[in-house]
Chains A and B, each alone.
Chain A
């Protein structure tokens, strides 16, 4: 469509100034989403018995931050947001450093999911980390504390399923769905992605919390149905929130950060 007026002035060369960013994500975006995490951490959702706090609403949102801001930007936003939330409402955080770590890892893993052969380093490193976590955790539970193997495996259903889905091509497939124009696929991708990111983050945390709490076998038995159910809720919440947010962001055509995958 032609312009209504011809410019009389000379056309100039425009040099775009880079706004301050971390890993390609503008700082302002990180600040604002970090504040969201803090605000949401005041809304308790259910009691998570495994680590001693109630599950704040923000848990459904950590992976989303990884997809909106990229792994580093998302991890920072989640870390700082949950840290401030932990200071101000420690009863929603359980053990502060644990919940902050969980948030950070969750966003990071989510953001990494799209990385393919070009950035092999990051997800390979994560796979090694997860294997190490399984070893430390499994060793303490099975060898030291005498938890039967089948109970250990059942109790780690979400961790194992997430790990499997992460190392298989499913990881990239789900991440690509999130970038799809079909909202139904976006929702599915978000659901699966949240399941994976939360499950693997849970693995890292459990390795630490278990060494503090050393839950006996009976508690494992009680937790076996609860943990997957909670992860299911987290994934549902993550999918519902994420789909709405991504639909909205596409409608208002906000400037995307370089690492965003929606």
Chain B
């Protein structure tokens, strides 16, 4: 097979860094293949992908060892502008990579910079839009596009160069499931139909298992494994050591295998997993699960016939009625635009209902100010950086108490308590922005905790996080729940939540489609489909088991499924 890019003993260290970020990497990338790069945060995945288009080291400086060649061009002796004709790049954040004010101008931008004639530009725009299925959208502005459409535009923009190689660095981590699906489908078509060579960095294990030809695991700057998805994703223990997540299917079958049931191989895609199940039904006995004890407590937060219409006439919430009890862990799910954040903003009194009411402990929110409400309900937004206002961690944590006029002694006490519970005492005098992303989220949570609210709402806390990061935040929510707080989480990552949430509210088209315990909600595939959600692979496997065996199996996790198998 033709080699389109080659790395030969590549090592790299950034300016002012203590250690090498890439260590002796040798890798051949074949024409037409889909190579996935996976690894924990900090492994060097982005750096590796940026070597391919010369950004590393030409933009960052530092020290570079070894050789990297793409389409026959050395990435150090050829300028980035020349390499950009051969290597297209798509980055994680859909917003910052779109610079123009219309779709067609976005695609034209690089071509204009390379001085292509106008007729050629027009022709390439048409081809690129067709390849990503955005025809007819030439005149639209970027802010009119959905997240998935924006990323597809970024791909089109890279495609218009007719590159030999397309690099995608976490292109779906900021997107909802619909957007994610769109991007993966587009990339799949580019690879299978147009024969485009793809190098993709992604945490989306299920999709990568489906689409990649080869996977490389990058750990601490070195490639620790290279092989097909079947080879890589079936090595569950190795993945866990590397702090990586295997596709749910693989994890489930590995767990079954660990109970002594022999399997020829561990399937890594849903199709192969479903295909193996019939041969295992003889080992499937009684499905076993345990539900946490139900909570009988008073209603804390109540929405009654809540409706909200935007100033432009769109109905964002239609007749929502919801009771949230003290000590609950509630999950709110639904497509983008379903009304989740709008609902939550009503709880926080950032929005006022057009009809209906919201009350806290029986008192209507109309009689409470937003700042008074802040003492009862805390809100952690998706991006912690927009919630950091001070120059030290301690000042940040005591910020709210100072604003609310608490006496100095009490401020000091509560601040200390809060810092301690989030493990931030040693960092108290540091600038919050000098901390890692995970620690910054911790600072925001500590700041909210200092007000000792009864309810804490987390809005998309796992988006943009890798598996480790997401687990760390969810563990914090568990900690808060164990402290007696009522926790509300909004997220797309359904597969992460069975260990934490008790109850699920499914929203779609501005309404509540379902309000049920998590075990029931996750199995209502039809209702989830109405809001463009798909149950996690584990749930789908359980449903197939139920169908094959005739025994109802409302199982949620790979552990539960495996526990229902016996030799």
In the bound complex, how far is the Cα of B63 from the Cα of A3, in angstroms? 13
The one of B11, B59, B389 in contact with A5, judged by C-beta atoms closer than 8 angstroms, is B11
In the bound complex, how far is the Cα of B17 from the Cα of A1, in angstroms? 10
**Interface-lining segment among A9-17, A45-53, A106-114, A172-180:** A9-17
Residue of B nearest to A246 (CB): B391
Contact with A along B377-403 (1 / 0, CB 8 A): 000000000000111000000000000
Q: Are A15 and B65 in contact (CB under 8 A)?
A: no
Is A39's CB within 8 Å of the partner chain B? no
Is A150's CB within 8 Å of the partner chain B? no
Determine chain B's interface SS by DSSP, over half rule.
mixed
Q: Are B65 and A11 in contact (CB under 8 A)?
A: yes
Q: Are A16 and B391 in contact (CB under 8 A)?
A: no
In the bound complex, how far is the Cα of B75 from the Cα of A14, in angstroms? 10
Known contacts: A7-B66, A244-B391, A248-B433. The answer to whether A15 contacts B8 by CB under 8 A is: no
Provide a sorted-by-A list of 14 A–B residue pairs whose CB atoms are within 8 angstroms.
A3-B20, A8-B24, A9-B8, A9-B9, A9-B10, A10-B65, A12-B66, A13-B76, A16-B57, A19-B59, A248-B391, A251-B391, A251-B431, A251-B434
Shortest Cβ distance from A239 into chain B, in angstroms? 14
Q: Which residues of A contact B220 (CB under 8 A)?
A: 4
Q: Which residues of B contact A154 (CB under 8 A)?
A: none
Q: Are A5 and B222 in contact (CB under 8 A)?
A: yes
Is B50's CB within 8 Å of the partner chain A? no
Given contacts A4-B220, A5-B24, A9-B67, 17 further A-B contacts (CB under 8 A): A3-B20, A5-B20, A5-B23, A5-B221, A7-B66, A9-B9, A9-B66, A10-B67, A13-B76, A14-B61, A16-B57, A16-B59, A16-B61, A244-B389, A251-B434, A252-B433, A252-B434
Q: Which residues of B contact A183 (CB under 8 A)?
A: 391
Q: Are A4 and B19 in contact (CB under 8 A)?
A: yes
Interface size class of A (residues with CB under 8 A): 20 to 34
Interface residues of B, Cβ cutoff 8 Å to A: 8-11, 13, 16, 18-20, 23-24, 57-59, 61-67, 76, 79-80, 220-222, 389-391, 430-434
Q: Are B23 and A4 in contact (CB under 8 A)?
A: yes
Interface residues of A, Cβ cutoff 8 Å to B: 1, 3-5, 7-17, 19, 183, 244, 247-248, 250-253
In the bound complex, how far is the Cα of B54 from the Cα of A15, in angstroms? 11
Q: Are B18 and A1 in contact (CB under 8 A)?
A: yes
Residue of B nearest to A254 (CB): B433
In the bound complex, how far is the Cα of B8 from the Cα of A244, in angstroms? 45
Q: Are A247 and B59 in contact (CB under 8 A)?
A: no
Q: Are B76 and A3 in contact (CB under 8 A)?
A: no
8 closest A-B pairs (Cβ-Cβ)?
Answer: A9-B66, A9-B9, A251-B431, A7-B11, A7-B65, A9-B65, A251-B434, A17-B58
Q: Are B20 and A251 in contact (CB under 8 A)?
A: no
Q: Are B65 and A12 in contact (CB under 8 A)?
A: yes
Shortest Cβ distance from B79 into chain A, in angstroms? 6
In the bound complex, how far is the Cα of B62 from the Cα of A247, in angstroms? 26
In the bound complex, how far is the Cα of B79 from the Cα of A38, in angstroms? 34
Q: Are B58 and A16 in contact (CB under 8 A)?
A: yes
Known contacts: A7-B65, A9-B66. The answer to whether A15 contacts B59 by CB under 8 A is: no
Q: Are B24 and A9 in contact (CB under 8 A)?
A: yes
Q: Are A11 and B58 in contact (CB under 8 A)?
A: no
In the bound complex, how far is the Cα of B57 from the Cα of A8, in angstroms? 18
Q: Are A17 and B80 in contact (CB under 8 A)?
A: yes
Q: Which residues of B contact A9 (CB under 8 A)?
A: 8-11, 24, 65-67
Q: Which residues of B contact A247 (CB under 8 A)?
A: 391, 431
Shortest Cβ distance from B439 into chain A, in angstroms? 13
Q: Which among A17, A183, A252 has the highest number of chain B CB atoms within 10 Å?
A: A17
In the bound complex, how far is the Cα of B10 from the Cα of A235, in angstroms? 51
Known contacts: A5-B24, A11-B64, A14-B62. The answer to whether A248 contacts B13 by CB under 8 A is: no
Q: Which residues of B contact A19 (CB under 8 A)?
A: 59
Q: Are A7 and B23 in contact (CB under 8 A)?
A: yes
In the bound complex, how far is the Cα of B10 from the Cα of A12, in angstroms? 10
In the bound complex, how far is the Cα of B58 from the Cα of A7, in angstroms? 19
Shortest Cβ distance from A150 into chain B, in angstroms? 44
Q: Are B66 and A10 in contact (CB under 8 A)?
A: yes
Residue of A nearest to B67 (CB): A9
Residue of A nearest to B221 (CB): A5
In the bound complex, how far is the Cα of B433 from the Cα of A12, in angstroms? 34
Q: Which residues of A contact B222 (CB under 8 A)?
A: 5
In the bound complex, how far is the Cα of B54 from the Cα of A17, in angstroms? 10
Q: Which residues of B contact A17 (CB under 8 A)?
A: 58-59, 79-80
Shortest Cβ distance from A48 into chain B, in angstroms? 27
Q: Which residues of B contact A8 (CB under 8 A)?
A: 9, 11, 24, 65-66
Q: Which residues of A contact B61 (CB under 8 A)?
A: 14, 16
Q: Which residues of A contact B62 (CB under 8 A)?
A: 14
Q: Which residues of A contact B80 (CB under 8 A)?
A: 17
Q: Which residues of B contact A10 (CB under 8 A)?
A: 65-67
In the bound complex, how far is the Cα of B18 from the Cα of A248, in angstroms? 22
Q: Are A14 and B57 in contact (CB under 8 A)?
A: yes
Q: Which among A7, A11, A19, A250 has the highest number of chain B CB atoms within 10 Å?
A: A7
In the bound complex, how far is the Cα of B59 from the Cα of A248, in angstroms? 23
Q: Are A3 and B58 in contact (CB under 8 A)?
A: no
In the bound complex, how far is the Cα of B273 from the Cα of A163, in angstroms? 78
In the bound complex, how far is the Cα of B24 from the Cα of A188, in angstroms? 50
Q: Which residues of B contact A253 (CB under 8 A)?
A: 16
In the bound complex, how far is the Cα of B58 from the Cα of A183, in angstroms? 34
In the bound complex, how far is the Cα of B18 from the Cα of A4, in angstroms? 10
Q: Which residues of B contact A248 (CB under 8 A)?
A: 391, 431, 433
Q: Which residues of A contact B433 (CB under 8 A)?
A: 248, 251-252
Q: Which residues of B contact A16 (CB under 8 A)?
A: 57-59, 61
In the bound complex, how far is the Cα of B220 from the Cα of A10, in angstroms? 21
In the bound complex, how far is the Cα of B11 from the Cα of A88, in angstroms? 50
Shortest Cβ distance from A192 into chain B, in angstroms? 21
Residue of A nearest to B57 (CB): A14
Q: Which among A12, A16, A250 has the highest number of chain B CB atoms within 10 Å?
A: A12
Shortest Cβ distance from A132 into chain B, in angstroms? 40
Residue of B nearest to A15 (CB): B58
The one of A14, A244, A251 in contact with B63, judged by C-beta atoms closer than 8 angstroms, is A14
In the bound complex, how far is the Cα of B315 from the Cα of A227, in angstroms? 47
In the bound complex, how far is the Cα of B63 from the Cα of A14, in angstroms? 7
Residue of B nearest to A250 (CB): B431
Shortest Cβ distance from B433 into chain A, in angstroms? 5
Shortest Cβ distance from B66 into chain A, in angstroms? 3
Q: Which residues of A contact B430 (CB under 8 A)?
A: 251
Residue of B nearest to A247 (CB): B391
In the bound complex, how far is the Cα of B430 from the Cα of A240, in angstroms? 19
In the bound complex, how far is the Cα of B57 from the Cα of A13, in angstroms? 10
Shortest Cβ distance from B47 into chain A, in angstroms? 14
Shortest Cβ distance from A22 into chain B, in angstroms? 17
In the bound complex, how far is the Cα of B64 from the Cα of A13, in angstroms? 8
Q: Are B391 and A1 in contact (CB under 8 A)?
A: no
Q: Are B20 and A7 in contact (CB under 8 A)?
A: yes
Shortest Cβ distance from A193 into chain B, in angstroms? 19
Q: Are A11 and B63 in contact (CB under 8 A)?
A: yes
In the bound complex, how far is the Cα of B9 from the Cα of A7, in angstroms? 8
Shortest Cβ distance from A175 into chain B, in angstroms? 22
In the bound complex, how far is the Cα of B13 from the Cα of A14, in angstroms? 12
Shortest Cβ distance from A256 into chain B, in angstroms? 13
Q: Which residues of B contact A11 (CB under 8 A)?
A: 63-65
Residue of B nearest to A17 (CB): B58
Residue of B nearest to A251 (CB): B431
Residue of A nearest to B220 (CB): A4
In the bound complex, how far is the Cα of B18 from the Cα of A11, in angstroms? 17
In the bound complex, how far is the Cα of B81 from the Cα of A19, in angstroms? 11
Known contacts: A9-B24, A17-B59. The answer to whether A3 contacts B79 by CB under 8 A is: no
